[in-house]
Copies of this chain bind each other. A is one copy, B any other.
Amino acid sequence: MAHITTSVEYGIHGLLWLVGNDGKALSSREIAEIQGISPSFLAKIFPKLEKAGIVAASEGVRGGYRLGRAADEITFLQIVDAIEGEKPLFDCQEVRERCALFTGGVPGWATSGTCAIHAVMKQAEKAMRDALAAQTLGEVASRFSRKAPESFFADFKEWADERQTTRTARTGRPVRDGPS
């Protein structure tokens, strides 16, 4: 399995739908359903985005998620860190402290500063993080907009509107018709 998880993938896909929804809220179930992924799994991802301020949640019956700030101010790095929690690329085991030549105590020169190998890994991690920080949700969304036909967005609006009405229409009917 890869280091950037499918949770991040689902999260970003979900966020892209919010970008295209004109500031209106979508519930986590709707976001999951329109993408064909597990609703209960997505429901564990969005609270993390909420804690990071990437989305704003509204509770209750017509609640859901909106973007917490402008799509241009949400970077991929922020999303990855929000969902995965800033796990380092490399976890230095400090092998240099275990060298058998150091009988009776590790000398200062050996442990001063960062381990040379760790330094290389940190540099590589920074390169990756910089690349992720250079991409925003807004840019990717508009890249997608240029690719998709206008009918697609019309279909989405229609789908969202229908959801908006049917989810209130279901209310107030206590389902007592089956095994009673």
Contacts and interface: CB of A to CB of B under 8 A. Distances in A.
Contact of A9 (B37, B92, B156): B92
Interface stretch (A53-61, A117-125, A167-175): A117-125
Nearest to A91: B2
Interface in A60-75: none
A12 interface: yes
B93 A9 contact: yes
Nearest to A96: B13
Contact of A116 (B37, B121, B140): B140
B131 A95 contact: no
A5 to B, nearest CB: 9
Contacts of A164: none
19 contacts: A2-B89, A4-B90, A6-B91, A13-B95, A13-B96, A35-B98, A35-B99, A36-B98, A37-B95, A101-B155, A110-B148, A116-B140, A116-B143, A116-B144, A120-B131, A120-B132, A127-B127, A127-B131, A128-B128
